[in-house]
Amino acid sequence: MAGLVCACTSGAAHAGDVYVSYANGSGATYASQPLDSTYTLLLRDEAASTHAAAPAALPKESADMRKRREGLEPLIRETAARYGLEPALVRAIAHVESRFNTNAVSPAGAAGIMQLMPGTAKRYGAVSRHDPAQNLDAGARYFKDLLGQYAGNIALALAAYNAGERNVERHAKRVPPFRETMLYVPEVLTRYESYRRADLATPQLPPQQ
């Protein structure tokens, strides 16, 4: 999982900040905090830095969101296993994309748990974007393809999932300088790390065949 770095410890950085390092010689590595002296601030989360009282940690999920997540958990784990992805990663994308709301629709027209655009849904065979099984399957398969396209770099795959592959290519295979995307990437990485730690602390039964 090259290019994946997520620091979730407390500090001066805010959850929406994006830092970048080119020290590894194989491309950019992104993090939500500077992990060493090679990391420089790429984007400051202005909303967090403007308000001194803003929490450094991401908001906790509501009771309703937790109920939706728990209801989808067997399907998330089954879908993740099908495509060789960590359930925590699929869960993190679904969390940030829709808050696990199967009926979610964005102003741009993306729909469902993984917020599929019509073209992506058609490309991956999701006839009903609001059907959780079809939506999760198409979204996970698309993200798996993006990981392959970007040599396992999760940060770039997330950027492409949010902003589109063309925009990542136009910016020399770096996270495009769009505010939404540059806040989206570290948020998903942070959620991923949080869910990953929770999964390690509470081992899950394998998905039923």
Tell me, what's the pLDDT at 56? 40
pLDDT tens, residue by residue, 87-120: 999 999 999 999 999 999 999 999 999 999 999 9
Tell me, what's the pLDDT at 143? 98
**Domain range summary for the chain, segments of one domain joined by +:** 63-201
Q: Is the pLDDT of residue 82 over 80?
A: yes
pLDDT tens, residue by residue, 152-209: 888 889 999 999 999 999 988 888 888 898 889 888 988 888 898 899 888 665 655 5
Helix pair 154-163, 132-149: axis angle to 10 deg: 120
Tell me, what's the pLDDT at 204? 62
Distance CA 15, CA 45 (A): 8
Tell me, what's the pLDDT at 47? 41
Confidence class for position 22, pLDDT limits 50, 70, 90: confident
pLDDT tens, residue by residue, 58-75: 677 889 999 999 999 999
Give me the mean pLDDT over the 112-138 stretch. Answer: 97
The helix (run of H) or strand (run of E) holding residue 40 is strand 40-43
Report which of 24, 5, 30 is spatially closest to residue 182, judged by C-alpha positions. 30
Report which of 74, 189, 206, 64 is spatially closest to residue 132, judged by C-alpha positions. 74
Distance CA 121, CA 105 (A): 14
CA distances from 26 to 2, 149, 154, 163 (A): 9, 15, 14, 22
The one-letter amino acid code at 124 reads Y
Confidence class for position 142, pLDDT limits 50, 70, 90: very high
Tell me, what's the pLDDT at 13? 54
- Collect all residues with Cβ–Cβ distance below 8 Å to 152 and sequence separation of at least 6: 1, 2, 3
Give the residue numbers annotated as catalytic, written as ranges. Answer: 97
The residue ranking higher by pLDDT, 23 or 84, is 84
Tell me, what's the pLDDT at 189? 86
What CATH architecture applies to the domain 63-201?
A: Orthogonal Bundle (1.10)
Q: Is the pLDDT of residue 9 over 50?
A: no
Distance CA 166, CA 50 (A): 32
Tell me, what's the pLDDT at 49? 39
The residue ranking higher by pLDDT, 39 or 116, is 116
